Amino acid sequence: MINPEILQIVKEKGLLLEKEIFEALSSVNDIRVVRKLLDNFENLAGQRMITRSSLIKNWVISKDINHLTEGIEPKFLNIFIKLGIEINIDTFALKKAEKVEKFRRDYTLHYGKTTFAKKMEVSDFVGHFRARYKDLQNIIMRRNNNWDNLISINKISATRQQFCIIGMVSEKRLTKNKNLLVVFEDLTGKTNVVFKNGSNAFKDADELQLDEVVAIKCTGNNELIMGHEIFFPDSFLLQKTKFDDDCGIAFISDIHVGSKKFLRPEFDSFITWLSSDDELAMKIKYLFVVGDSVDGLGVFPGQEKLLEIKTLKGQYDNFAKYLKRIPERVTIFICPGQHDISRVPEPQPPLDKVYAGALHDIPNIVLVPNPCLVKLHEKGKEFKVQMYHGASIHAFINSIEELRLLKAHKSPAKAVRHMLKRRHLAPQHGISASIVYVPNPERDPLVISEVPDIVCTGEVHRLDIERYNGTLIMTGSCWQARTDFEEKVGNIPDPCKVPVFNVKTHELKVLDFSISEERNLGRSEDFVK
C-alpha cells in the first residue's frame, strides 16, 4: 500500500525511487526517519534517480558506515540489509565509536542551504533580499546604538530635517550636474538620495554596489534628500584567538589537475614535503583547498584541447592520489570553484560523489560548500576561517574605480577588503557582475554574519596577504602555469606559494615550491604584526 506521506516527501525532494526502495521505506512508521533515510540514499546514490543497484554499487565503493547510519537507530538499519547493503548491525556502533576517536571532530561547519525541493520563483528572490536586508540592518545597528533620528523610508516627512536611513541600493546614476543619485529601499518603500559631486560622501557613494545595504546620514524631506555620510556594515575583529596547541594551517587553491599546464612536479614536491618529518610540516593540522581542484570539462569553448586528462572522474581520481599521501593527522577542507563539478550559482554544493567519489573515500577529507565558515575549536576557543573561492573579486575590481586604478588583479586582497567592509561576499547579482546565486528566502548565505579570523580565497592565481581591521586576508596562489587566456588578458600568475599560519603564535610563513634557481623553500615573512 502506498504511504501518501512518503510519496509527498519524495515529490518535495524531486526524487525518483525504484519500487523496491519505496516498499522498504513504507515499513518505517517514523516520517523523520524516512526523511533521514532518503537524504542518505540520495547522498549514497549521488543522483536524484535512486535505484537499488546504484545504492549497492556506491556502498561497495565508499564503505562509509558513519555517514550512512548517522542519526539512525539500529532498529531501522534493516532497511539497508533488505536492499542488499551489507551492514553488520551488531558491530556498527563499535565501528562508529572507533572512527570518531580516530578522527576527532575539533571543528564545526557553517554554511547556507545548497539544495531546494522546489522550483525557484520570484517570491524566493524577494525573500532572499529581505533576509539580506534584515541581517545587514542588524549588523549596522549593532555598530552604533545612538543613530541620530533613524527612521524608515515611509516615515520621511514633508518637513526639512536631519535623519538617518538604512537602505539597500537598487539603482545609481549621474545627474546632469554630475551629482550622484542613488535609489535606496527598505522594507517600507523607496527614496532617492543625491550626493553632491566633490562632497566627502561622493566617493563612498560612487563605489556603492547594487543590492548592498548601508546607513546614510541625510538632510531634506520626502521631495529632496541630500546624502552627507555613508556607514558601511564593516568588519572589526576585536580580539585575536590564539590556541595553546602549536597548530599550523596551510592554504592552497586553483590546482587545476587535468590541465596540460598543471605544475605536476611542483605540486608533488609540496605533497612530499607535507608528508615528511620536517618540523613545520609536522605542525600542520589543517589544509584548506579553496576551489578549482581540477581543470574541469566544458568550462569554456575549446577547453578539451588544453586537457591532459579528458574526463572529470579521471581528474578527481588523479587529484585523490596526491591527497592520499597526506598523513591522516591533517584534516583537509575542500570547497568547489567554477572549474569543479558543481553548479556555478552560489552557494555551490560540495563536490559530487559520482565524479569525485575518490575524494569521498579519503577519511580525513571534509568536502564543504562554497562559501563555508569553518570554526576550529580548542578548549572553548574558536578560530574562524571563511572559505570562499572568490568569483566576485572580478566584479569588485571592475566596479570600484580605486581598485581599477590600482590594477587590483595584481593585489586581489584589496578586493576582499571590500567584502569585509560590506559584510557580504558578492552583493551584486547577475551575469554582468559575474555572480549568479540561488535565492534563499530564509537567510542569505553570502552575508558575512560572523567576523572571521582569516578569509581565504582563490580565483586570481596570485598569493596576496593583507590585514583588514584585525582579519587576515589570503588570496591563494595556484599550481598551473600561465594559460593562453591569462596571457591574453594580461594576468600574470604567481604559482606554487603555500602560506602556513600558526594559530598559537600567529606567525605566517610562505613556502615557495617553484622549481627554479630562485626557489626559496621556507621563506618566512611576518604579515601579522
- Identify whether 294 is part of a domain: yes
Q: Write the Ramachandran bin of 431: left for phi over 0, alpha for psi from -120 to 50, otherwise beta.
A: alpha
- Assess contact for 85 and 59: CB atoms under 8 A: yes
Out of 231, 266, 283, pick the residue that ends a domain: 231
Residue 408 and residue 295 in one domain: yes
- Identify whether 120 is part of a domain: no
Residue 151 and residue 203 in one domain: yes
- Identify whether 114 is part of a domain: no
- Identify whether 125 is part of a domain: no
Residue 362 and residue 434 in one domain: yes
**521 vs 13, 17, 524, CA distance in Å?**
50, 54, 9
- Identify whether 517 is part of a domain: no
Determine the straight-line distance between the first and last CA of the chain, rounded to whole angstroms: 69
Per-residue pLDDT of the chain (529 residues; tens, 9 = 90+): 567 777 888 787 777 877 777 777 777 777 777 787 777 777 766 667 777 766 665 654 444 444 555 555 555 556 665 665 655 444 444 444 344 344 456 888 888 878 776 778 888 889 999 999 999 999 998 877 667 789 999 999 999 999 999 999 999 999 999 999 999 999 999 999 999 998 989 999 999 999 999 999 999 998 899 999 999 999 999 889 999 999 999 999 999 999 999 999 999 999 999 999 999 999 999 999 999 999 888 887 888 888 899 999 999 999 999 999 999 999 999 999 999 988 888 899 999 888 999 999 999 999 999 999 999 999 889 999 999 999 999 889 988 988 888 888 889 999 999 999 999 999 987 655 567 888 888 889 999 999 999 999 999 999 999 999 999 999 999 999 887 777 777 778 889 999 999 999 999 999 999 885 444 444 444 444 3
* Residues spanned by the domain of 470: 248-512
How many distinct structural domains can be found in the chain? 3
Residue 258 and residue 290 in one domain: yes
The CATH number for 358's domain is 3.60.21.50
Residue 35 and residue 169 in one domain: no
**C-alpha–C-alpha distance, residues 203 and 431, integer Å:** 26
Out of 102, 128, 162, pick the residue that ends a domain: 102
The CATH number for 197's domain is 2.40.50.140
- Assess contact for 286 and 510: CB atoms under 8 A: no
Which of 434, 430, 438, 335 minimizes the C-alpha distance to 387? 335
**Strand, helix or coil for residue 125:** helix
- Identify whether 301 is part of a domain: yes
Residue 329 and residue 208 in one domain: no
Indicate the helix (H) or strand (E) that contains 192: strand 190-195
Out of 231, 266, 285, pick the residue that ends a domain: 231
Indicate the helix (H) or strand (E) that contains 60: helix 52-62
Residue 387 and residue 271 in one domain: yes
